[in-house]
Structure 1
Amino acid sequence: MEDRRSLWHAVADAAGVPGQHVWALSVCRNCVTAVPGVDAAAVTLRATETAQDLLGASDDWAAALEDQQYTLGEGPGVAAFRTREPVLVDSLDIADQHWPGFTDAAQTLGMGAAFAFPLQFGAIILGTLDLYRRTPGALAGRARADAAGFADLITLALLRRNEQTHVSGEDWLPGMGSYHDVNIATGMLAARLGISLGDAFTRLRGHAFLLDRTVLELARDVIAHRIDVDDLGE
């Protein structure tokens, strides 16, 4: 009960914390502590299925799994955002039926199960709360209810803070941009090859998959000119 109360406070207080989303890290770590059977958590903001930004993750393992969803364009978080419904993956056997690419990556990273909850309020959807575990198994009824409740609290905290900053003119997201380099590289690719941003992103994602790298890693190489943009034109 104390762990659950601590998480509730962490989420509720989130809207009042300035800076580089330290609260998101706290929320994710508390989520791992409070929800039985969860080994890692991540909160990802999503504008579309191909545009996202990692707001916070409990550890590097969760962040790596989010990177794979972004690179491959598939996975429980992507599906939860698209359907606006919780996506509960008890084992990789279930995941393989829907996202073969993500399943391979998740298996390599040691994921056994994943549970994604949309961050939504009415018609507004902001992203997802993604929970991971290293072994297969369902999320128990009470744990599932708590996770859904935490997703609702995170959503309300984000909306409340957004309203406050709109009034004050404050930029609440100065640290946003975990995938900002991808946007820059996509623009460079589009300009150089004379293609749309959508086609440029698809090409960047495709080459990342072929090279067995994340989109973010490849984008940073493009920006640093470690990879010739023309090499991505094929």
Structure 2
Amino acid sequence: MTMGRRDRDRVAEVIAEEIRGAGPREVPQRLCDAVLKLLPVSGACMALRGDGIPVPLSASGERAAYVMEMQVTLGDGPCLEAAETGSVVSAPDLMSSRDACRWPVFAQQAAALGVRSVYALPLGDPAVCVGTLDLYRDVPGELAAEEVRTARVVAEIVTDALVALPRAESDDPDDIGCWLSPLATDHDDVYRAIGMVMAQLGVAADEALSLLRGHAFAKSRTVLELSHEVVALRTRFDDLPL
């Protein structure tokens, strides 16, 4: 048995044990929990590749979830680059000039939260990227070659686990086929808000998203927080100076 096969079997065993007995909506969170057991990271987050915006699926904790929300709000960061390129994106030191120049605002805000390095791995195959797995560390530095190999295997098996989940066949949120986690379904309001801004201002979807991002950033809010206000009619863009 080659080392690669042994690695894959070990990763598969840990992930299988973590998700054993879990319902479909619990699986994304359990997968993030398994990542922390398999890799020397302090946080992990998974996101699906959405239409112009990543959709957070699960996170290992509040900080990991917030770092992902920052990328959603800014429209910039390792996650978006990995989804766009289909390649692993490595940011070994967010306080270095190299990484800070790549994503200036994201790097500054993530480092302020204590995140010093980020690794974003595409979920899918070279032809189709369905999402990303983000790994966060409290210390700067590259992952060792063996750890990078393990991370790639983790991303492959996580993709297989997500693809194997049942698809929803009804609109009933209690249907066993409705497997999207609360973190993901919460982001439905972002798409609703985009539609409402389009209607209020008569603009296209990409411009509506840019306006949401810009206003959220100016108010030190996340896009998700602002979208909740728009959907609840507490904020209207046709009443705002743009």
Q: Deviations over 1:168-205 (max 9, x none)?
A: x9744354423111111111111011111221111001
Structure 1 counterpart of 2:75: 73
Match of 1:83 in 2: 85
1:155 pairs with 2:159: yes
Higher helix share: 1
CA-CA distance at 1:166 after TM superposition = 8.4
Alignment equivalent of 1:34, drawn from 35, 38, 42: 38
Partner Cα distance (1:138, 1:75) in 2: 18
Report the alpha carbon displacement of residue 231 of structure 1 after superposing the two structures with TM: 3.6
Runs of 5+ unmatched residues, structure 2: 1-7, 170-174
Residues 7 and 27 of structure 1 are in contact (CA less than 8 Å); yes or no, is this contact kept in structure 2?
Answer: no
- Deviation of 1:124 after TM superposition, in Å, equals 1.9
Q: Could you tell me which amino acid in structure 2 is paired with residue 173 of structure 1?
A: W
Question: Whole-Å Cα distance in 1 between the matches of residues 167 and 29 of structure 2?
Answer: 21
Identify the residue that residue 194 of structure 1 maps to in structure 2.
202
Q: Percent identity?
A: 34
Q: Give ranges in structure 1 of 5+ residues lacking alignment.
A: none
Checking the alignment, whether the CA contact within 8 Å between 1:86 and 1:115 is kept in structure 2 is: yes
Is 1:173 matched up with 2:176? no
Q: Secondary structure at the match of 2:80?
A: helix
Does residue 1:43 correspond to 2:46, yes or no?
Answer: yes
Which residue is equivalent to 1:183?
191
Q: Secondary structure at the match of 1:47?
A: coil
Q: In structure 2, which of residues 97, 103, 107 is the aligned counterpart of residue 103 of structure 1?
A: 107
The alignment partner of 1:74 has SS state of coil
Q: TM-score, normalised by structure 2?
A: 0.84
TM-score normalised per structure 1: 0.86
For the 8 Å contact 1:15–1:157, the answer to whether it is kept is no
The two structures, once aligned, show a CA RMSD in angstroms of: 2.6
Paired letter, 2:117: A
- The answer (yes or no) to whether the contact 1:71–1:214 under 8 Å persists in 2 is yes
